[in-house]
Structure 1
């Protein structure tokens, strides 16, 4: 996914603090290729560079919702650690972690307002049967 960012260095540092690894082979002064868990690639693109891919205006995701991304974690402590890292690195937590028993998670926002939902789900849970 491609995310427009106002400050590439700040965003690269933020995503690095969350556990994303920078792939230098696909990064330059306009973009940082960030990889999470060898499964998700996020291209952080400075606004001017992002604008070369679209004629549409860049959404101010601090004011409007453009997309809700979701990351799944192996356990509750991993969700907690991700939220703590995000807040420590300059992100915010628009939705605090909720524990619903079979599901656990919340949401964080990066410095540009891009929302990342977090979740852990009990894979052995089954819904109660109705009577």
Structure 2
């Protein structure tokens, strides 16, 4: 079974969010992008639907979490190297993102994190496959 994931995130300013993720090198699927939502293409199977808050409210009875003051989730994406982790996080910080946690290096794993303009937490992770094979 092939499964795709669509993570839905509320955003305050859709234009600002689109500009931020475009600077990180991502694209948007125009078929699912309008004034209320933008479909951020992360990979062939991973998408983030960035929904303006009034539109996001149509899909929940709960209050929307203010991601700048509370954590609703951490979105972790894999990278192919430590250099790719650094490159993507550095680009996020240079594009208006904010630092989240200190870099973490734990054996075969290396990760760094950032907050997007709406405060959502993103973590970029590299796992050294050679070190993982040696541990098994």
Distance 2:63 2:116 in 1: 20
The answer as to 2:53 corresponding to 1:47 is yes
Task: For residue 36 of structure 1, report the CA deviation from its aligned partner.
Answer: 1.1
The answer as to 2:30 corresponding to 1:38 is no
Count of matched residue positions in the alignment of Structure 1 and Structure 2: 128
Misfit runs of 4+, over 4 Å: none
TM-score (norm 1): 0.91
Task: For residue 71 of structure 1, report the CA deviation from its aligned partner.
Answer: 0.4
Match runs of 1:113-124 below 5 Å: 113-124=119-130
Match runs of 1:37-76 below 5 Å: 37-76=43-82
Structure 1 unaligned runs (5+)?
none
RMSD after superposition? 1.4
TM-score (norm 2): 0.88
**Cα contact 1:19–1:36 (8 A) shared by 2:** no
**Cα contact 2:86–2:112 (8 A) shared by 1:** no
1:18 to 12, 16, 24: 24
Partner of 1:88: 94
Distance 2:45 2:20 in 1: 19
2:9 to 3, 10, 13: 3
